[in-house]
Amino acid sequence: MATEAHGAEEGGLVFHPMDQFIVKPLFGDGPVAWYTPTNVTLWMAITILAVIALLVLSTSRRSIVPSRGQSVAELAYGFIYKMVEDVTGKEGLKYFPYIMTLFMFIVLANFLGLLPMAFTTTSHIAVTALLAMAVFLTVTILGFVKNGASFLGLFWVSSAPLALRPVLAVIEIISYFVRPVSHSIRLAGNMMAGHAVIKVFAAFAAIAAISPLSVVAITAMYGLEVLVAFIQAYVFTILTCVYLKDALHPHH
Amino acid sequence: MATETHATNGEGLADATGVASHSADAAPGMPQLDFGTFPNQVFWLVVTLVVIYLILSRVALPRISAILAERAGTITNDIAAAEDLKAKALEAEEAYNKALADARSEAQRIVAAAKADIQSDLDVAIEKADAEIAAKSAESEKAIAEIRAGALEAIEEVAKETAAELVTAMGGNADAATIDGAVSARVKG
Amino acid sequence: MEGDIVQMGAFIGAGLASIGMGGAAVGVGNVAGNYLAGALRNPSAAASQTATLFIGIAFAEALGIFSFLVALLLMFAV
């Protein structure tokens, strides 16, 4: 990483918490065009390989008594399947592969990002914003296709007093359009924050007196980040399910 | 990548704070807000998502759901088979108990039959023995009676002779018939 | 010089924005604490509500992340 060279020449405390998120071309130093293979490409490809290893290779023996890898795959399948079924009901199961794709991508990208020297694709707002916008557009279009104009009933809280309903409708509409923003920034922010904090602690390790403390702090943060990596993927997925439920059953 | 204007800004930041910003790599401090890299990320993300979706929906998910269904089927079958075996075991136990009871009653029957046989044999033997004993005792009695009769006759005869002798010795003249009758009456009485 | 004052303002603003994270911490603690209180009262209903717990935590935490983002923007992007 470029930070090492930089720190050596300046000495003392050097913070580069954000350098780990820089998008670089894999080959050479040219400009990043839309098709350039970058470290984003590399880590997304590794994510795909991880998905294949976890869900395809481990289940290739199709044994009745599962091996370790196969039971992880089955666990992931059952976890998301049950979540979709519980939150959206039976008719949501049609969208199970879509939600499973989101979950597997996010959870594996989060965990792979925790490897030292790794690049965390989900820490980029561009990535999470696309994921969130995809969910938002899908859910909105699906809501109108399935329910027609009565999808707007989502914003008209019929259980509230009549005088309050327009006010509530405005709030509901605002909260509806804030959904993709919070949905994407929650994931990117959590990932970015954890990695940046670890990097800041790592910079403190340059001072000999507090370096043991710094190492302990990094270890603790790393444990927390492992938890956060899973919880954020879970939250992203379950919120997708909740939004999907709103699209399928817009009436409160 | 970085433009010149951003580079000066970055250096200023570095001078002011000691926070060196990598002006050559990150345009405006935060790499996340470097809009120049957005098309690249979006493109590769779309590619990744499509690939993962195809892998999941074509290969992984059908396979896993098939495995799970197969396992559920196997478990159901196994449970049914276990129920079957249990019922069979119960049946076998019942049959065993029945056989045991049968054998017991058979044995009792045989014992009773044997007993009855022995009893009847015994009865026959006892009867036979009784009859023999009765025959033998009758014979003996007859012999005794004969002996006794013989003895009486002998006594009568001896008495008659003795009486006749006595009568002659005493000088009497007794005819045989009278003496016989008198002795017989005495002996009988 | 003027740039320095702008820098100073940005950093002070970033520090102020960080206060918002304390609010998120209070919110998340509140959600988790109330969940625990409810779960100890009625443990049989707790398992079915973990999804709601995580959604609640996520919503509370999102606002803290927003303030963190504002701080980052002031630090690096302004």
Number of Cβ pairs < 8 A linking chain B and chain C? 21
Q: Any residues with CB less than 8 A from the CB of B39 and at least 6 apart, and which?
A: A33, A34
| pLDDT bucket at B159, cuts 50 / 70 / 90 | confident
Domain range holding A205? Answer: 23-248
* Contact status, residue B49 vs residue A44, Cβ threshold 8 Å: no
Residue A5 has pLDDT above 50, yes or no: no
Distance, in Å, from the CA atom of C33 to the CA atom of C56, rounded to the nearest integer, reads 12
Task: Indicate the range of A18-22, A88-92, A121-125, B17-21 predicted with least confidence.
Answer: B17-21
Q: Are residues B13 and B86 in the same domain?
A: yes
Quick one: three-class SS letters along A60-120? Answer: CCCCCCCCHHHHHHHHHHHHHHHHHHHHHCHHHHHHHHHHHHHHHHHHHHHHHHCCCCCCC
Å from A241 to nearest chain C CA?
11
| pLDDT in the model for residue B17 | 38
CB-CB contact of A155 with A172 (8 Å): yes
Q: In the Cβ-directed half-sphere of A226, how many Cα atoms lie within 13 Å?
A: 7
B22, B81: one domain: yes
Q: For residue A10, is pLDDT > 60?
A: no
Rounded to the nearest angstrom, the minimum Cα separation between B79 and chain A is 15
Q: Is position A1 within any domain?
A: no
Calpha distance C14→C24 (Å, rounded): 16
Instruction: Name which residue leads in pLDDT, B189 or C15.
Output: C15
Q: Can you list the positions of beta strands (E) in chain A?
A: none
* Average pLDDT rounded to a whole number, residues A86-101: 91
Q: Is A25 helix (H, G, I), strand (E, B) or coil?
A: strand
Tell me whether residue B92 is in a domain.
yes
SS3 (DSSP) at B30: coil
CA distances from residue B51 to A52, A133, A166, B55 in whole angstroms, order as listed:
10, 19, 44, 6
The dihedral over CA atoms of B95, B97, B103, B107, expressed in degrees to the nearest 10, equals: -160
pLDDT-derived band at B88 (thresholds 50, 70, 90) equals very high
* Span A142-162, pLDDT tens digits: 999 988 888 888 888 888 888
Pick the CATH number of C2-77 from 3.40.50.970, 1.10.3720.10, 2.30.30.90, 1.20.20.10: 1.20.20.10
User: b/e map of C33-63 (b: 16 or more CB within 10 Å)?
Assistant: eebeeebeeeeeeeeeeebebbbbbbbbbbb
Domain count, chain A: 1
* A140, A247 Cβ separation under 8 angstroms: yes
| Number of domains within chain B | 2
- Rounded to whole angstroms, the Cα distance separating A64 from A43 reads 33
Is residue C76 over pLDDT 50?
yes
- What's the one-letter identity of residue B98? K
The pLDDT value given to residue B11: 40
Q: Is the pLDDT of residue B100 over 80?
A: yes
Q: Please give the ipTM for the structure prediction.
A: 0.85
Residue B93 falls inside a structural domain: yes
For residue A83, how many C-alpha atoms fall within 13 Å in the half-sphere facing its CB? 28
Residues B16 and B82 placed together within one structural domain of the fold:
yes
| pLDDT at B161 > cutoff 90 | no
A175 chain-C contacts, CB cut-off 8 A: none
Which residues of B sit within 8 Å Cβ distance of A? 1, 18-20, 22, 25-26, 29-34, 36-49, 51-53, 55-57, 59-61, 63-68, 70-71, 74
Separation between Cα atoms, residue C25 and residue C30, nearest integer Å: 8
Picking from A190, A193, A242, the nearest residue to C55 by CB comes out as: A242
- The chains found to touch B (3+ Cβ pairs under 8 angstroms) are A, C
How high is the mean pLDDT of chain A? 86
Alpha-carbon gap, residue B117 to B168, rounded angstroms:
75
Do B88 and B151 sit in the same domain of this protein?
no
| Whether A76 contacts A104, CB under 8 Å | yes
Contact A234, C54 (CB under 8 A): yes
A79: nearest Cα among A228, A241, A224: A241
Contact C69 A186 (CB under 8 A): no
Interface residue C52 vs chain A (CB under 8 A) = no
Q: Who's near B16: CB < 8 A, 6+ residues apart?
A: C3, C4, C7
Instruction: Answer whether residue B126 is part of any domain.
Output: no
CB contact under 8 A, A189 and C69: yes
Determine contact: C7 vs chain B, CB below 8 A. yes
A99 belongs to a structural domain: yes
Neighbours of chain A (3+ CB pairs under 8 A): B, C
Residue B111 lies in a domain: no
Token representation of residue B77: 């079958």
**Of A116 and B100, more confident:** B100
Question: Residue B179 pLDDT > 80, yes or no?
Answer: no
Query: What is the per-residue pLDDT for B20?
Result: 38
Domain that holds residue B20: 4-99
DSSP annotation of A241 reads H
B75 and B158 share one domain: no
Residue A232: how many CB atoms within 10 A of its CB?
Answer: 25
Q: What is the pTM of this model?
A: 0.72
Tokens of B3: 């433009």
Q: How far apart are CA C66 and CA A181, in angstroms?
A: 10
Mean pLDDT, to the nearest integer, of B53-63? 92
Let me know if residue A7 belongs to a domain: no
Is residue A140's pLDDT more than 50? yes
Report the pLDDT value the prediction gives residue A12, as an integer from 0 to 100.
56
